[in-house]
Amino acid sequence: MANIDIEARKQELLKEGYTEVYTKTKVLTDAVMHYCPGCGHGTTHRLIAEVIDEMGIQDKTVGVSPVGCSVLAYNYFDVDFQEAAHGRAPAVATAVKRLNPECYVFTYQGDGDLAAIGTAETIHAANRGENITMIFVNNGIYGMTGGQMAPTTLVGMRSATTPYGRRVDLNGYPLRMTELLATLPGTYYVTRQSVQNPGAVRKAKAAIRKAFENQKLGKGLSFVEILSNCNSGWKMTPVAANKWMEDNMMPNYPVGDIKVDGKIAEGIDVNRLVLDHPLTVMQ
Amino acid sequence: MAFKGQIIVDTERCKGCGVCVPVCPVKCLELSKEVNGKGYNYTQTVNDKCIGCASCAMVCPDGVISVYKKQI
Ligand SMILES: Cc1ncc(C[n+]2csc(CCOP(=O)(O)OP(=O)(O)O)c2C)c(N)n1
Ligand code: SF4
Ligand code: SF4
Ligand code: SF4
Ligand SMILES: [Mg+2]
């Protein structure tokens, strides 16, 4: 079917008295994202780009992309970007920010990148209180390489390397990197969000906005975890994967602010670090 | 205050993931039976109940939905 002329249709609606509620931001390029249909990486990209657009900081923003499915993130954002070696984005972002303190610098990383091979860089950038924004897309798996277990994989969750489900005795516990970082004095804002429904998306965007705004204050690192589906790795349809994420990821990784303005958020029990991990049953 | 909405779907860029379909509060979205150039069943409106709430656009990973509304 021939695609309709979108620009002409927009003009037509405006002439008919409609106002624009939403259209894709120009901070995203026209490149078609290579992500699987329904993958939360795309949604997260959109939100970051919308925040950059709304803050008017497109010419002052530098992103650092990871290794993982989002390795090509630089193709989709119309801002300056630097690719980092696997897990090293926070170290690269440290240098970019220190050399260009007037710039807004963010890393964009998956859980394999940020919480496995890059654990040292993540923890030390946070502990040094680098004045950067880190976006952490947690899908509980190594999406890019075919769905192997990540440190974040749930107990009982199947992956290519845990075909019968993750076992604590063999594979250890899922790592709550975000709670861990909240205990470090170098972090100023630490939050966990998700992007599976319109309400969650709006909240995630507000969190990303805050994490970028914080760079003006120079008070430390802002860290936003985004729970996201890897429908291909989980071997589910996108809609089923979003539901599975709510039912299984969220009890293990509770959504909400953990640290705000340098203080543990109200109602957050720091014992959450050692919360039991409910067993996940994957069909 | 009531609103009438209109969406424009960039059907050639839609990946047919379907995550926009269940979030529409007035059930005006469905995946097409036909496929686009990439072989995906794209999103289309099936009635004129759209209220321009932009819920569909919020969850679309590829930003292919534009939303418009006017007061009626
Ligand atoms: C030094 C090095 N070790 C291992 C790999 C293989 N590798 C590529 S991506 C990846 C993990 C990606 O997982 P994650 O960061 O969770 O990203 P996702 O694809 O899930 O978004 C691994 C182990 C690599 N490219 N380089
Ligand atoms: S493999 Fe998973 S994380 Fe990677 S693009 Fe596909 S759904 Fe997204
Ligand atoms: S804007 Fe709202 S009402 Fe209109 S199609 Fe999208 S979700 Fe449905
Ligand atoms: S969410 Fe976007 S890509 Fe997915 S079916 Fe709807 S319009 Fe298409
Ligand atoms: Mg991952």
Q: How confident is the model over B28-46, as pLDDT tens digits?
A: 999 999 999 999 999 999 9
Please tell me the distance between residue B24's alpha carbon and the centre of ligand 3 in angstroms.
Answer: 5
DSSP readout, A110-147?
EHHIIIIITHHHHHHHHHHT-S-EEEEEE-SSBTTTTS
- The predicted-structure confidence for A201-256, as pLDDT tens digits, reads as follows 999 999 999 999 999 999 999 999 999 999 999 999 999 999 999 999 999 999 99
Number of domains in chain B: 1
Pairwise CB contact (< 8 Å): A14 & B5: no
- The predicted-structure confidence for A66-105, as pLDDT tens digits, reads as follows 999 999 999 999 999 999 999 999 999 999 999 999 999 9
Out of B61, B63, B70, name the one closest to residue A38 (CB).
Answer: B61
Residue spans per domain, chain A: 35-274
Chain B residue whose CA is closest to A26: B63
Q: Specify the ligand 4 atom closest to the Cα of B18.
A: 5
Sheet arrangement for strand B65-71? A19-22, B65-71, B3-9
Question: Which CATH number fits the domain that encloses residue B47?
Answer: 3.30.70.20
Enter the pTM of the model.
0.97
- The predicted-structure confidence for A96-111, as pLDDT tens digits, reads as follows 999 999 999 999 999 9
ipTM above 0.90, yes or no: yes
Q: Specify the ligand 1 atom closest to the Cα of A113.
A: 15
* CATH 3.40.50.970, applies to A35-274: yes
Domain hosting B26: range is: 3-71
Task: Tell whether B3 lies on the interface with A, counting CB pairs under 8 A.
Answer: no
Pairwise CB contact (< 8 Å): B66 & A14: no
Please tell me the distance in Å from A237's CA to the nearest CA on chain B: 8
Please tell me the distance between residue B26's alpha carbon and the centre of ligand 3 in angstroms.
Answer: 7
Rounded CA-CA distance A217/A126 in Å is 16
- Given a cut of 80, is residue A200 above it in pLDDT? yes
Is residue A79 within 8 A of residue A55, CB to CB? The reply is no
**Contacts from A166-175 at CB under 8 Å and sequence distance 24+?**
A168/A277, A173/A277, A174/A140, A174/A252, A174/A277, A175/A115, A175/A151
